[in-house]
Structure 1
Amino acid sequence: MSKTAEYSGYTIESSPTPVMGSRAWKIRIFISWESKGAGITRGFSPAGMMGTEQEADCEGITFGKEIINGKVEDLALE
């Protein structure tokens, strides 16, 4: 499952990955935007795991919004 959201001029794509040897899922997201006419995409994957793919998708989108809003320490888009 993959979830995409548009937020404040950015596209957040959640792409959770299964954790080998368990039933857990790792959050993995990509944030894309345009800057000076060029498309830019950056990937992020926070520490921790989720119990289901759907949880990882939802938390991934929330995590992306927090990055965009500057609320995740040491992570910035530009």
Structure 2
Amino acid sequence: MSKNVTYREYTISSTPLHLLERDEWKSEIVISSEREGIVTARRYADETTYTTEEAADNHGIQLGQDIIDGKAPELSGNYDEDESFKA
């Protein structure tokens, strides 16, 4: 399972990673945007694990939205509250 969600002017692509040794899932996302024909993308991962792929997928999408909104400053390295997030 993987999801692509458009949020604001960004695309959040979630592809959960299956941890076989523990039969758990971890969120991995890519936030991308296109401006003037140039696509930029940044990859993010969260160390929190989930028992289902769907839960990891849903968390990944929420994580991406939080990064874009500046609610995850530890991951939003280039976030400035006076400017839009830049993927």
Q: Do the two structures share a fold, i.e. TM-score over 0.5?
A: yes
Query: Which structure would you say has the larger RCO, counting Cα contacts within 8 Å and 6 or more residues apart?
Result: 1
Secondary structure in 1 aligned to 2:46? coil
**Aligned twin of 2:72:** 72
* Runs of at least 4 residues off by over 6 Å: none
**Aligned twin of 2:56:** 56
Q: Which has the larger radius of gyration?
A: 2
Aligned equivalents of 1:41 and 1:32: distance in 2?
Answer: 4
Q: Per residue, is there more strand in 1 or in 2?
A: 2
Cα RMSD after superposing both structures: 1.3
User: How far did 1:36 drift?
Assistant: 4.7
Secondary structure in 2 aligned to 1:22? coil
Aligned equivalents of 1:5 and 1:40: distance in 2?
Answer: 16
**Aligned twin of 2:14:** 14
Q: Which residues of structure 1 form unaligned runs of 5+?
A: none
Identity of aligned residues (%): 37
TM-score after normalising by structure 2: 0.82
Pairs aligned (count):
78
1:14-63 CA-partner distances (Å, limit 9, x unpaired): 00011131110010000000245410011000121011000011110000
